[in-house]
C-alpha cells in the first residue's frame, strides 16, 4: 500500500510524496529517450554509438561539479526552491534539445540534464529525511525509486511508439509535459522549510557539512562505494537497450515492450527493500545487492542467447532497484544533521558513476565490444561492495 499520511510524525502528505516520485522520475526521462534511441541519435550525426553515448559523460561531469556546489547551496537555500529550479531546468532542456544542430551542441545542451539532476535528486532524498519519520524512510524512498522506474518505463514505452517522429520531437513530447506537471505539484504540495532569512547563514557554516563528512570514514566509504556500484547500473541504462537491439536485431518499439519486464523487476526490488532492511539491516542489504549486481554484470553481456541474457538482466534489475533504495537511505543516516550536504555528495557520486559508465563503458565498447565493457564495470561493483564492507559502519 502507498504510505499513509501521518501528521503525528510526518509533515508531508501523500500528494507531497507523489510529487517527489514525479520529481525523481523526471530525472530519468531524458536518459530513457537517449538509451532507447541512441542508435538513431548516432545515425543523425553520423557517429558511432559509443561516441554518441558520450553525451551522458558530459551530463555526468556537470552533475558532479554542480553536485559538489549543492553541498553549500543546500545549507543556504530552501530545499523546495532548489528542487523547483531543477524541475524547471529539465523542461528548458527538453525544448532546447530540439534545436541541437550537431553532436557538440547536443552535448552542451544535455549537460543541463546533469545540472538539473544535481538539483533534484539530493533534494528529493533530503526532503524525505526531513519530513518522514526514520522508521518509514526506507519504504518511502523505495516508493520514489519504484515510481521513478515506472515513469522511466512510461517514458521508454512512449519513446518507442513516438520514435517515428524523430528523436528530437520524441524528447520534447516525453520530457516537457511531465516537467510542467511536476512544477505545478512542487509548488502546491511540498511544504516550505522554516529556515529563516537566507542571509543569516554565515560563510563558515556553509562548509561545516563538508568538514564533518571528510572526518567521517563511514561517510567517505559510502560515497566511494556509491560511485563504483552505481556505475554498474548505469551501463545498463546507457548501453543496455542498444546491446539488445544490436545483438538480437530488435526494433525500438519491440525493445520498449521488452523493457516492461526490466522495469517491473526494478520496481519490485525497490519496493522490497524496506522489508529486507527490517529483516537484516541497511548495510548487509546494501552489500548483498551491490555484490549480486556486480557479479551478474560480469557475465550477462557475453551471453549469445537472448532468453538467457534476458533472465539474467531481470536479476540485475531487481538487485539495482533494491540497491539504489537502500543506498539512499543508508547515506541519509551517515550525517543526519547535514543531510543536505551528504545527499548532495551522494547525488554527485551517482553522477560520477554515470560518467564512469558512459565514458569507460563507451570506450571499451568502441575498442572491444559490449562484453569487455560490462565485465570491467561488473568488477567495479564487486570492488564497491568490498569498500562498503570494510569502511562503512552499521547505522
| pLDDT more than 70, % of the chain | 92
Say if residue 203's pLDDT is above 70. Answer: no
**Joined grid coordinates for residue 265:** 523487476
Q: Does the pTM of the predicted model rise above 0.85?
A: no
pLDDT at 193: 66
Mean pLDDT across 239-258:
83
Give the CA count within 13 Å in the CB-facing half-sphere of 54: 16
Length of the chain, in residues: 395
Say if residue 267's pLDDT is above 90. Answer: no
Mean pLDDT across 44-65:
83
pLDDT tens-digit series, residues 293-309: 999 999 888 888 999 99
pLDDT tens-digit series, residues 73-105: 777 778 899 999 999 999 999 999 999 999 999
Q: How confident is the model at residue 380 (pLDDT cuts 50, 70, 90)?
A: very high
Shortest CA distance to 148 belongs to which of 350, 379, 380? 350
Q: Is 99 exposed, middle or buried (0-12, 13-18, 19+ CB in 10 A)?
A: exposed
Distance between CA atoms of residues 159 and 75, nearest Å: 38
Q: Are the C-beta atoms of 362 and 329 separated by less than 8 Å? A: no
Say if residue 49's pLDDT is above 90. Answer: no
| Residue-by-residue DSSP string for 14-62 | HHHHHHHHHHHHHTTHHHHHHHHHHHHHHHHTT--HHHHTHHHHHHHHH
Distance between CA atoms of residues 227 and 233, nearest Å: 11
Mean pLDDT across 62-77:
79
Q: How confident is the model at residue 314 (pLDDT cuts 50, 70, 90)?
A: very high
Distance between CA atoms of residues 23 and 5, nearest Å: 19
pLDDT tens-digit series, residues 105-164: 999 999 999 899 889 988 998 888 888 887 788 888 888 988 888 888 888 888 888 988
pLDDT at 387: 94
Of 89-93, 259-263, 339-343, 346-350, which has the strongest mean pLDDT?
Answer: 89-93
Say if residue 21's pLDDT is above 60. Answer: yes
pLDDT at 191: 86
Kindly list the structural domains of the chain, giving each domain's residue range(s) and its CATH number in brackets, ordered by start. 14-191+205-391 (1.20.1250.20)
Distance between CA atoms of residues 274 and 255, nearest Å: 30
Amino acid at each position: 500500500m502507498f504510505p499513509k499520511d501521518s501528521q503525528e510524525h510526518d509533515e508531508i502528505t501523500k500528494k507531497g510524496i507523489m510529487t517527489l516520485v514525479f520529481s525523481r522520475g523526471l530525472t530519468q526521462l531524458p536518459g530513457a529517450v537517449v538509451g532507447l534511441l541512441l542508435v538513431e541519435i548516432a545515425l543523425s550525426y553520423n557517429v558511432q554509438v559509443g561516441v554518441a553515448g558520450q553525451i551522458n559523460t558530459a551530463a555526468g561531469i556537470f552533475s558532479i561539479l554542480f553536485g559538489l556546489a549543492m553541498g553549500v547551496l543546500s545549507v543556504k537555500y530552501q530545499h523546495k526552491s532548489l528542487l523547483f529550479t531543477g524541475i524547471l531546468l529539465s523542461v528548458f532542456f527538453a525544448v532546447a534539445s530540439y534545436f541541437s544542430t550537431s553532436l557538440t551542441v547536443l552535448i552542451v545542451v544535455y549537460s543541463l540534464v546533469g545540472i538539473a539532476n544535481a538539483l533534484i535528486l539530493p533534494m528529493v532524498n533530503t526532503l524525505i529525511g526531513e519530513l518522514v519519520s526514520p522508521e518509514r524512510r526506507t519504504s518511502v524512498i523505495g516508493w520514489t525509486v519504484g515510481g521513478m522506474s515506472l515513469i522511466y518505463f512510461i517514458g521508454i514505452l512512449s519513446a518507442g511508439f513516438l520514435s517515428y517522429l524523430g528523436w528530437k520531437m520524441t524528447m520534447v513530447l516525453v520530457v516537457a509535459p511531465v516537467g510542467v506537471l511536476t512544477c505545478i505539484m512542487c509548488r502546491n504540495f511540498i511544504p516550505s522549510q522554516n529556515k529563516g532569512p537566507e542571509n543569516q547563514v554565515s560563510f563558515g557554516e556553509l562548509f561545516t557539512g563538508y568538514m564533518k563528512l571528510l572526518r567521517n570514514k563511514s561517510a567517505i566509504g559510502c560515497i566511494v562505494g556509491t560511485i563504483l556500484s552505481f556505475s554498474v547500473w548505469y551501463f545498463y541504462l546507457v548501453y543496455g537497450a542498444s546491446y539488445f537491439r544490436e545483438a538480437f536485431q530488435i526494433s525500438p518499439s519491440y525493445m520498449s515492450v521488452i523493457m516492461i519486464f526490466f522495469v517491473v523487476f526494478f520496481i519490485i526490488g525497490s519496493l522490497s527493500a524496506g522489508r529486507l532492511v527490517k529483516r537484516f539491516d541497511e548495510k548487509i542489504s546494501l552489500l548483498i545487492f551491490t555484490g549480486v549486481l556486480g557479479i551478474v554484470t560480469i557475465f550477462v553481456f557475453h551471453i549469445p542467447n537472448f532468453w538467457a541474457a534476458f533472465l539474467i538482466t531481470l536479476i540485475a534489475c531487481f538487485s539495482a532497484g533494491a540497491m539504489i533504495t537502500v543506498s539512499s537511505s543508508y547515506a541519509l543516516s551517515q550525517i543526519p544533521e547535514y543531510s543536505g550536504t551528504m545527499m548532495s555528495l551522494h547525488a554527485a557520486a551517482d553522477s560520477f558513476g554515470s560518467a564512469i559508465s558512459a565514458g569507460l563503458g563507451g570506450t571499451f565498447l568502441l575498442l572491444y565490444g559490449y562484453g569487455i565493457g560490462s565485465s570491467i564495470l561488473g568488477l567495479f561493483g564487486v570492488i564497491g561492495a568490498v569498500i562498503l564492507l570494510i569502511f562503512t559502519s552499521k547505522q
